[in-house]
A and B are shown apart, each in its own frame.
Chain A
């Protein structure tokens, strides 16, 4: 029994060349010191495989049409067996892929693996990173609920800021002059054909470069990269201490990938797919467009920037960011790899991480967004049930003050908290401020009459907190 099997395999092997071509790649010698540091690249690939498989399955029911997309997603989520689970898997798979590609990139940057001779490994990786972000954005949009439609508007408006070709770009993205039937089918093609095609080709190139130059060693303070001698010394060290990739190094990749897929499946089972927003009606203004978590930081940046910097950030962050990262190894491909000798690299990573976390929290809370649903102030906060102060409290709600200002824990966060404003501004200051407005505050002179103004100011003057009054006016 064994003999014929062996014979068959030998026949196939001699024709397809497994032993000649594939086996040497699988068992090529790699440094033994990398251990757990190098599992993130393969885990990103695993997450991509999850995406490809769940995506293909979802595409069997998803209809990329203006009206039907939302209905087909509702069908997938609510009726199709395993539909909700697959949608959840595709969503958590996307999160995993974005997170892992960033971790992989950070690890490679910290260890300066992009230096000679692996410059192109890094450059292909940077292209892949941006394509993954584009996949994340277009994927969120294919949900084609109110959020999806308004995400298209935001993307279109951002593209429109490009000098000269802005409007052309926007109309290309929309597939016309407004959001319509062609918009979704175009984004569907990006998400399902074009971007995955680039990822397949990019991963192929990325991996072939990995095999060509070999897996890098852990950075060593005593061994800065010198292109004149690097390859020779690397080969010599590998010969002495290297181990075969399969299975001596790869088992760690497999263990970590198992963990990643396990987490994706567990999250999908426990939390389910992301909820669908309202239907994709561009005439529905009660939408509160918001990107998925990976773009909250950018959402915050766009809200916090002074308008005069906007052009540079809307176009600068993607374009300059890409170019700076892409060209990095062309400017720095020799010398130290150890983080301890590259304080700037460590600083940049820490600053980026801190910026990401802080801005993401800000983006999630979106304190700049008016609180449209704020209720009228309860009597426990107002303190009286008739008279000018009572009327002023009602006006603070109806005139929109509470949309942006918090009083006694109620209201938005765009403007300063007014809970202690009676201690901070004088009556005259308040009248001037309300009439004339201020930085980011509308002037209310034309929409509030003098009686109303007097009531509002009466009410605001009663807003004092028990602690000692401060001297910090204004």
Chain B
């Protein structure tokens, strides 16, 4: 009788220990996993949360631009990685309205981001990808783009035309989109 009780309690004891070991191993595995994954994940996700400080970039002297003309200008991103090379560049279609007023259109089509081309004689922006067309003021003239061309801020400082860098214009879907 006495022996029996002892056996039972011993078995209970072993089972208790086993379940403790199982639980301990699972918890520790989760800890190991978190320690391995979290730093890497933070590293990879960091660009999403990084606030880029946009900069004014000079694209040429005011006198270089003919009144009424729309020309392609390119400028450097605000803080390019040292190895970015040519990919650090961005372009804009710059229109000289007069000596103090300039408009800078983003070259990215609002449909899916392809580079639009300004056709001077026709007074239209056209996109090679899916056939988007915009009027000279950037409003949609035809094709699939849902929004007008985006614009960069422009200013004239000390005889220089300067463009304020910005993120790639993204066409988003608002939650209440009736589509």
A interface residues (Cβ-Cβ under 8 A, vs B): 65-68, 149-150, 153-154, 156-158, 160-164, 166-168, 170-172, 174-184, 279-289, 299, 302-303, 305, 307-312, 368-370, 372, 398-400, 403-404, 414, 437, 440-443, 446-447
Contact = CB atoms under 8 A, between A and B. Distances in A.
B107 A285 contact: yes
Contacts of B86: 66-67, 279-282
Contact of A67 (B74, B85, B91, B114): B85
Contacts of B144: 302-303, 305, 307, 310
A282 B87 contact: yes
Contacts, number: 208
A85 to B, nearest CB: 28
24 contacts: A67-B83, A150-B114, A156-B170, A157-B112, A157-B170, A161-B172, A163-B174, A174-B168, A176-B47, A180-B77, A183-B87, A282-B89, A282-B90, A287-B114, A303-B131, A303-B144, A307-B144, A312-B179, A369-B130, A369-B131, A398-B122, A400-B119, A441-B141, A446-B123
Residue with the greatest number of chain A CB neighbours at <10 A, chosen from B114, B129, B135, B177: B129
A157 B87 contact: no
Given A177-B52, A180-B77, A170 B179 contact: no
Contact of A150 (B85, B115, B171, B175): B115
A167 to B, nearest CB: 5
A15 to B, nearest CB: 29
B116 interface: yes
Nearest to B89: A283
A442 B74 contact: no
A369 B113 contact: no
A142 to B, nearest CB: 13
Interface of B: 45, 47-48, 50, 52, 72, 74, 77, 80-91, 107-108, 111-117, 119, 121-124, 126-131, 133, 135-136, 141-146, 166-168, 170-175, 177, 179
Contact of A398 (B84, B121, B145): B121
A174 B119 CA distance: 29
B48 to A, nearest CB: 5
B129 A289 contact: yes
A194 to B, nearest CB: 11
B88 to A, nearest CB: 6
Nearest to A447: B123
A288 B115 CA distance: 8
Nearest to B118: A285
Contact of A400 (B111, B126, B127, B171): B126
Given A149-B87, A154-B112, A280-B86, A403 B122 contact: yes
